[in-house]
Amino acid sequence: MTPAAPLAADATIATLRDRVMPVLKEKITPEKAKWTSRPDVAREAKTVVADYLATHRLELNLLDQRDLVTALVNGFLAENISRAPPPDPVAVAPAPESALEAPSAEPAPELYARNPSRASVEQAKLKLQPMVLERIDTSAAAKLPREDLSRDLTGLVADLLLETKIQLNASERAELVKQLLDDMLGLGPLEPLLADESISEIMVNGAKRVFIENKGKLVLSDVQFRDNSHVLSIAMRIVTAIGRRIDESSPLCDARLADGSRVNIIIPPLAIDGATITIRKFAKKKITLDTMLKFGSLSTNMAKLLRIAGRARLNILISGGTGSGKTTLLNALSQMVDHGERVVTIEDAAELQLQQPHVVRLETRPPNLEGNGEVTMRDLVKNALRMRPDRIIVGETRGGEALDMLQAMNTGHDGSMSTVHANRPREALMRLENLVSMASANLSPRAIRQQIASAVDMIIQVGRLRDGSRRITYISEITGMEGETVTMQDLYTCEVTGETPDGRLTVDFKNHGLRPHCLPKAAYFGLDKQLMETMES
């Protein structure tokens, strides 16, 4: 090690930090840093500082030495922000042999929002949480407003830190109180992710692997649960809040959070590595066609066409893969519904955000413990037909309700909408045909296709591209039947034209210049001239 040059008498803490940091990095290599906790880094930093001061015959008072150690630790952890989390302090069993093998050549997943002081807070929480629960009435605490409980917990935590001689700075104490509150009143470790508006999806794969979708990309977060039972308790809290259940006899559940976010939960024995929770977050800002236009999800003329399609009461099927933005587009299109119309929405877990004053929201119900009382999507679609709806909106068609939906579209409920999982408009028709055949074995394939051709006016295909962006890739019309085949025409398509240096794809929305088959329906509402201008421009 090459000794540093002598320091001036008026050297600052920042200067000392810059001089000592290389020594600390020699002690804790990048490989070792991945598994070194904050307290261990702090201990090593204290030793390095003491040796450095002795070697260079420098004197610092205890307060300055502590500030120097803190600056070293924070700087070191900030530079190693993508390191893996330290081992669980609860685990005492030796690591299996496989854990000692050389690491894979694959790069580790990117970590999201690593907090350098998280390890200290987690270790303190692990020790103090049982003591907190012993000293408070949890049932009474759950009824308190968050502000009142926070004030009480702050005082209690301060007393316990003195008793246990655990040292935390002010920000770490505040984080500890927040985590205790989240566990008692909210969804525990998931609360910070739910509060972050840049995150669109949260995926809990067991206790130690929580992924998030941020700007269209999946990254590993630094959020962890204590163990699998902790994940299961949070899952139970989610489902019981809306009167559903999750247990070994019913290990699958679709639910929603209080803000409308959609949740899917699957637990052992079906989920081998522990309870798995997938949360599609509710967008606090309403997504409109104008918003989608601003994001580049469609072109100006495509937006005009979709507005006309909504106002002309076309029956629309939105097709796309998981997470492609089907429900978002359905919400945007629903804003074209006249406020004088009666709309019935049908969903497995209610998440549509219709702004009209006359909306009836229906939601399916799973069977009870005895296996009775189930209400399916098909039951609700049949019942909706008796509720005098102007439009029926089915959140997602994935079963026999497809037949009832088509019959509703064919019997005066124009302007109805739904979504379906498929990769192309033509595949969406095949998917719809298969779903209808599930409901009725008596209909021939030709009869099913005739129902589809007469009921559905337009298919809008949405897709998530490899750069994470979501685009409308097809706007297609159903034009009728030729023999045994349903005929279609593409009005607009999206073609990838290149890629920018930062990895974003450039696209071209192509107008095929065809005469819309829906022109007579648009003319009925006085929108035919606008439609032709849109297609000709």
Residues 229 and 352 in one domain: no
Res 237 pLDDT > 80: yes
Res 261 pLDDT > 90: no
Confidence band of 510 (pLDDT split at 50, 70, 90): very high
Residues 496 and 375 in one domain: yes
Q: Mean pLDDT over all residues of the chain?
A: 82
Q: Across the beta sheet with 417-421, what order do the strands follow?
A: 359-363, 343-347, 391-394, 417-421, 316-320, 458-464, 470-482, 485-499, 505-511
| Residue that wins the pLDDT comparison between 420 and 52 | 420
Per the structure, the complete domain to which residue 486 belongs is given by: 289-536
- Tell me whether residue 488 is in a domain: yes
Residues 246 and 145 in one domain: yes
Res 176 pLDDT > 50: yes
- Tell me whether residue 95 is in a domain: no
What are 340-381's pLDDT values in tens digits?
899 999 988 777 878 788 999 998 888 877 778 888 888 998
| Residue that wins the pLDDT comparison between 63 and 423 | 423
Could you tell me the two tokens for 100? Answer: 């000692």
Q: Looking at 240, 259, 280, which one is the last position of a domain? A: 280
Confidence band of 431 (pLDDT split at 50, 70, 90): very high
Distance CA 158, CA 166 (A): 10
Distance CA 495, CA 493 (A): 7
Is residue 278 within 8 Å of 204, Cβ to Cβ?
yes
Distance CA 24, CA 45 (A): 6
Among the ranges given (81-85, 285-289, 376-380), the one the predictor scored with the smallest mean pLDDT? 81-85
pLDDT at 165: 82
The CA-atom distances, in angstroms, between 201 and each of 211, 222, 312 are: 8, 15, 34
pLDDT at 1: 43
Residues 334 and 370 in one domain: yes
Count of domains for the chain: 3
Res 509 pLDDT > 90: yes
Element (H, E) at 117: none
Is residue 481 within 8 Å of 517, Cβ to Cβ?
no
Residues 530 and 394 in one domain: yes
Distance CA 297, CA 509 (A): 10
| Residue that wins the pLDDT comparison between 91 and 194 | 194
Could you tell me the two tokens for 286? Answer: 């309403």
- Tell me whether residue 90 is in a domain: no
Answering whether pTM is above 0.75, one says no
Confidence band of 302 (pLDDT split at 50, 70, 90): very high
Residues 394 and 519 in one domain: yes
The CA-atom distances, in angstroms, between 475 and each of 310, 336, 467, 498 are: 13, 17, 22, 22
User: What would the mean pLDDT of 268-277 be, rounded to a whole number?
Assistant: 89
Distance CA 184, CA 146 (A): 10
User: What would the mean pLDDT of 197-221 be, rounded to a whole number?
Assistant: 88
Among the ranges given (132-146, 215-229, 262-276, 481-495), the one the predictor scored with the smallest mean pLDDT? 132-146
User: What's 525's domain CATH number?
Assistant: 3.40.50.300
Is residue 425 within 8 Å of 319, Cβ to Cβ?
yes
Among the ranges given (41-50, 95-104, 136-145, 146-155), the one the predictor scored with the smallest mean pLDDT? 95-104
pLDDT at 85: 44
Residues 134 and 276 in one domain: yes
pLDDT at 41: 78
Bond prior to 269 in cis (omega within 30° of 0): yes
pLDDT at 531: 92
What are 392-430's pLDDT values in tens digits?
998 888 888 888 888 888 877 889 999 999 999 999 999
User: What would the mean pLDDT of 470-483 be, rounded to a whole number?
Assistant: 94
Percentage of residues in the chain having pLDDT higher than 90: 29
Distance CA 207, CA 230 (A): 8
Residues 148 and 236 in one domain: yes
Q: At what angle do helices 401-409 and 425-439 cross, to 10 degrees?
A: 110
- Label residue 526 exposed, middle or buried (CB < 10 Å: 0-12, 13-18, 19+): exposed
Q: Looking at 247, 280, 313, which one is the last position of a domain? A: 280
pLDDT at 11: 53
Distance CA 17, CA 180 (A): 34
